[in-house]
Structure formats: C-alpha cells, structure tokens
Chains A and B, each alone.
Chain A
Amino acid sequence: GQSLEQPSEVTAVEGAIVQINCTYQTSGFYGLSWYQQHDGGAPTFLSYNALDGLEETGRFSSFLSRSDSYGYLLLQELQMKDSASYFCAVKPGSNYQLIWGAGTKLIIKP
C-alpha cells in the first residue's frame, strides 16, 4: 500500500524552531506538498518540493530527500498563530490523487 508517516503531535516554545518530519512509501513520486490547517479552518498550501534540497518561504522551509523517501517542514521563530495541524502529501504519479499523511498537531507554548 501507499502511506505517509508523520508524528501525531509536536510541542515547541514560542520563538523556537521546530521540524516536522514526513516519510513516505509510494509507488512513484512527483513531489511532496505541505498544508497547514487551523482548528475549524480550511487547509492552506504551504510548500512543494519536487527536487532534493531545501525550499525557503519566509519563516517556513521544506526539505526533500528522494533517496531517503523523506521530507520535513521547518518552522522558525515560532509564533502562537503557528499552532495548527500540518499535513504532508505526495503525488505518486500524474494520474494519481494526492496521498496524505494523518497530520501533525503543532502545540506552541509561551
């Protein structure tokens, strides 16, 4: 089967840095996406990695290693508003839908 694994919950302190990991087992690989969802809200797109390496967008960065079937989302200078669930998703092929992880709930403490 196809699956993505990410931690169910991560706790960090305001102002710190946190990394949310995602490992995948899929039949193919087109790219790894990350989405953020606040409680009661809609998921919003954060980043996309198709090639190995680090992509930076402001305080958020996303990393991919295709050889390790692994990626992570890095959040820097954490703010209370970053408290949310973060989902990784992989598209195994052009005619496949996204395969989603179960999500990581990020809890930020002052």
Chain B
Amino acid sequence: KAGVTQTPRYLIKTRGQQVTLSCSPISGHRSVSWYQQTPGQGLQFLFEYFSETQRNKGNFPGRFSGRQFSNSRSEMNVSTLELGDSALYLCASSFDRTGGNSPLHFGNGTRLTVT
C-alpha cells in the first residue's frame, strides 16, 4: 500500500507570493491533517479535514487555508507569503479522526523556503 505522498518536496518562493501544497493520503484513509514544523520546534497543527469538511483549525492566520477533495486528497494554500512561513509542512492521514488508536501516517513533507 502506498504511503502518504506530498508534492512538491522542496519549494522556494519570494515574499508576497502564494503557494499550494498537495497531499495524497493512504488509500482508504478519510482524515487528512496538516502541520507546520520549524527547526527545533514541535508540530504546529494547521487544520484537519475529514470527508471534505474542515473539522479543526489551528491558531494560524487566515492566509493559511486548505481543502479536501472527494477522493480524500488535500491541498493547503498559503497566500501573501512571509519569511516566517519558511518551514517543513507535513501532511498526515489516518483512517478515522486523528489521534487515539487511529495513528497518523505522515508524508515526507514539503520544505518551503521563503526569500
């Protein structure tokens, strides 16, 4: 079974631009979550989607948005990029709602650099 696939792996953008990141979950998984990870930091929760509906949202500005499609694939978008948005963006899928005994399966992430 294929794992979680995130594209692209690396991205370099300039301030003010926008970016779209893509995530294909494990087949059969209905929940997709997005996290931001900066060096030495834990995982900062962005949002969770389940059956095309946003179920939870983290404490990030409205520049960060996402969506989930009927095939469970998900995208996240960051508009008006700032230098502080440089980070590793991780997508994770799970069969059911995140956490508990439905573990998260992470992709390898998209490393975004904003210059």
Binding site for B on A (CB under 8 A): 30-31, 33, 35, 41-45, 48, 50, 87, 89-91, 94-98, 100-103
Please indicate the chain A residues that have their CB under 8 angstroms from the CB of B99 in the complex. Answer: 30-31, 33, 89-91, 96-98
A108 to chain B minimum Cβ distance, whole angstroms, is: 19
Scan B88-101; emit 1 where CB is below 8 A from any A CB, else 0. 00101000011111
Contact (Cβ within 8 A) A97 B42: no
**CB-contact partner of A97 in B45, B101, B108, under 8 A:** B45
- Interface SS of chain A: loop
CB contacts under 8 Å to A, within B20-55, are: 33, 41-43, 45, 48, 55
Contact B43 A100 (CB under 8 A): yes
Residues of A close to B64: CB separation below 8 A: none
How many residues of chain B have a CB within 8 Å of chain A?
24
**How far does the alpha carbon of A90 sit from the alpha carbon of B43 in the complex, in Å?**
13
- Residues of A close to B56: CB separation below 8 A: 95-97
**Which residues in A have their C-beta under 8 angstroms from that of B101?**
31, 48, 50
The distance in angstroms between the C-alpha atoms of A21 and B70, with both chains bound, is 40
Smallest CB–CB gap between A78 and chain B, Å? Answer: 23
List, in ascending order, chain B residues with CB within 8 A of A42's CB.
4, 90, 106-109
Q: A30-B99, A31-B100, A33-B99 are in contact. Are A98 and B45 (CB under 8 A)?
A: yes
Check B81 for interface membership: any CB of A closer than 8 A.
Answer: no
B40 nearest CB across to chain A (Å): 8
List chain B residues, Cβ under 8 A from A41. Answer: 108
How far apart sit A48 and B45, CA to CA, in the bound complex (Å)?
19
Q: Smallest distance from the beta carbon of A48 to chain B beta carbons, Å?
A: 5
Chain A residue, CB-CB nearest to B107: A42
CA gap between A41 and B109 in the complex, in Å: 8
- Interface residue? B8 (CB, 8 A): no
Q: Which A residues are in CB contact (< 8 Å) with B98?
A: 91, 97-98
B67 within 8 A of A: no
Q: How far is the CA of A30 from the CA of B48 in the complex (A)?
A: 18
Most buried by B among A33, A48, A95, A98: A98
Q: How many Å lie between the Cα of A101 and that of B43 in the bound state?
A: 8
